[in-house]
Chains A and B, each alone.
Chain A
Amino acid sequence: MSNGISNNEELLFHLPDYVTGKITDDNLLLRIQSEINSNPEFKKEYESFTETYSTIKDLKFSSPPDHYFTNMVPKINEKIANQKESMGISGFFKLSYLYKYALPAVSVILLIVIITFSNKNNKDESMFSRYGDTISDIMKFDSESSYESIDDENDIALESAEDDEFSESGDASELIAIENANILELYDENGDSDEELFYYSDFETLSHIEQIELINTLSETKF
């Protein structure tokens, strides 16, 4: 191509449309006509295109026979029906749907579970680190208190031993026996009592020595 044509590349690209009569823009038509008249290379190209067009312009593809169109719709319907049949119920679970909906949903659920559990672990760890001293203090306190409780148990054992000593003494057992006997005597089967001040009456029934002993014993008893 010469410089004259390459400078008018835009017009050259419109040449096929100019030859086939498809340009409607008057301004463009004038520019092309002017270029044909003034530029011999462009004119040569135009004549070549015109010749080609005159060769191919009469070429037309014949229309398909009528039965082609009448048969086409039933064929398409048949193919669609076959496709639906082949898909059936399994079509609902098509892989494309899985990719579209199920996979994102499952991944989101997994993500939530992972985040939840990781947060929980972090929380436990942070709680331990935050309250670790407190927990160790509590544990320490528990161990001390256990020692204390051991001491308490010793005290209780000691007390019970003292109680045993007290219970082993004949005076105390006698006193208890008397009290029980008095209770049995004073209460009838219905649990009613005729005398409300039976302790006083019991005490009065004792001898003077017994009364003194009882007083001494009671004064030494720890409640």
Chain B
Amino acid sequence: MVIDHDDADDITQNVFIKLHSALKDFRGESALFTYLYKMAVNFSLNHIKKVKNKHLKETVINNDMINNISDDGNNPTDFDSESRSKLIAEAVAVLPDRQRAVFNMRFYDELSYEEISKILNKSVGGLKANYFHAFKKIQSFLNNKKVKGEID
């Protein structure tokens, strides 16, 4: 969600530190996974807001971020694959925060809408709409790049 690996590292550590202090308040009403995931998403969204306040809506995709993306766990070997990965990462990065969160949770983490609903406190119907619009925006982004000849 936060794209930058160092930011993700900091957020992960802060989430576990928060969990350490807040675990005594955990009532077991939801699964620990959901509780932890919710905390991580909230930390990530707060971080994105802070970054946005600093850099407005400027999204920078640097080489470090692209190096974290590969086809099957390895760094891309050919230029086409690398450029495509870069474009997709950019397409996901420019999504609105909520849509990006839903897209990551549904597409990459394969969470059910019910789980996402518990994490984000949103209705399942609204989440389906978010996912659909996220998909449409990525599609639109890639089509624009195709028109410009930046992608096949």
A→B interface (CB under 8 Å): 12-17, 20, 22, 48-49, 51-52, 55-56, 58-64, 68, 72, 75-76, 79-80, 83
**Pairs of residues from A and B, 7 with the lowest C-beta to C-beta distance, nearest first:** A52-B139, A13-B128, A16-B135, A62-B70, A13-B132, A59-B88, A76-B16
- Given A15-B132, A76-B16, A79-B13: A55 in contact with B142 (beta carbons within 8 A): yes
From B84, B107, B151, give the contact of A20 (CB < 8 A): B107
Asked whether, in the complex, the Cβ of B72 is within 8 Å of the Cβ of A80, the reply is no
Asked whether, in the complex, the Cβ of B70 is within 8 Å of the Cβ of A60, the reply is yes
B→A interface (CB under 8 Å): 5, 9, 12-13, 16-17, 20, 68-75, 84-85, 88-89, 91, 106-108, 110, 125, 128-129, 131-132, 135, 138-139, 142, 151
- Given A52-B142, A76-B16, A79-B17: A16 in contact with B73 (beta carbons within 8 A): no
The binding surface of chain B is classed by DSSP as: helix
Residues of B within 8 A of A16 (CB): 106, 131-132, 135
* A-B contacts at CB below 8 angstroms, number: 76
Residues of B within 8 A of A64 (CB): 5
From A12, A61, A76, A80, give the contact of B108 (CB < 8 A): A61
- Given A14-B128, A20-B107: A58 in contact with B71 (beta carbons within 8 A): yes
Closest CB in chain B relative to A138 CB, distance in Å: 66
Closest CB in chain B relative to A96 CB, distance in Å: 12
Residues of A within 8 A of B131 (CB): 13, 16-17
Residues of A within 8 A of B16 (CB): 72, 76
- Given A52-B135, A59-B69, A60-B73: A72 in contact with B84 (beta carbons within 8 A): no
Subset of 15 A-B contacts with CB under 8 Å: A13-B125, A20-B107, A22-B106, A55-B142, A55-B151, A56-B142, A58-B71, A58-B72, A59-B85, A60-B70, A61-B108, A62-B73, A72-B9, A75-B13, A80-B20
Asked whether, in the complex, the Cβ of A62 is within 8 Å of the Cβ of B69, the reply is yes
In the bound assembly, the distance between CA atoms of A58 and B72 in angstroms comes to 8
In the bound assembly, the distance between CA atoms of A68 and B6 in angstroms comes to 11
In the bound assembly, the distance between CA atoms of A52 and B144 in angstroms comes to 12
Of all chain A residues, which has the CB nearest B131? A16
Closest CB in chain A relative to B36 CB, distance in Å: 13
- Given A72-B13, A79-B13: A62 in contact with B68 (beta carbons within 8 A): yes
Asked whether, in the complex, the Cβ of A60 is within 8 Å of the Cβ of B71, the reply is yes
Residues of B within 8 A of A58 (CB): 71-72
From B20, B69, B132, B139, give the contact of A61 (CB < 8 A): B69
Residues of A within 8 A of B13 (CB): 72, 75-76, 79
Of all chain B residues, which has the CB nearest A51? B139
- A14-B128, A56-B91 provided; 8 other pairs, C-beta below 8 A? A13-B129, A15-B132, A17-B128, A22-B106, A56-B107, A59-B88, A61-B108, A75-B13
In the bound assembly, the distance between CA atoms of A13 and B128 in angstroms comes to 6
Residues of A within 8 A of B75 (CB): 62
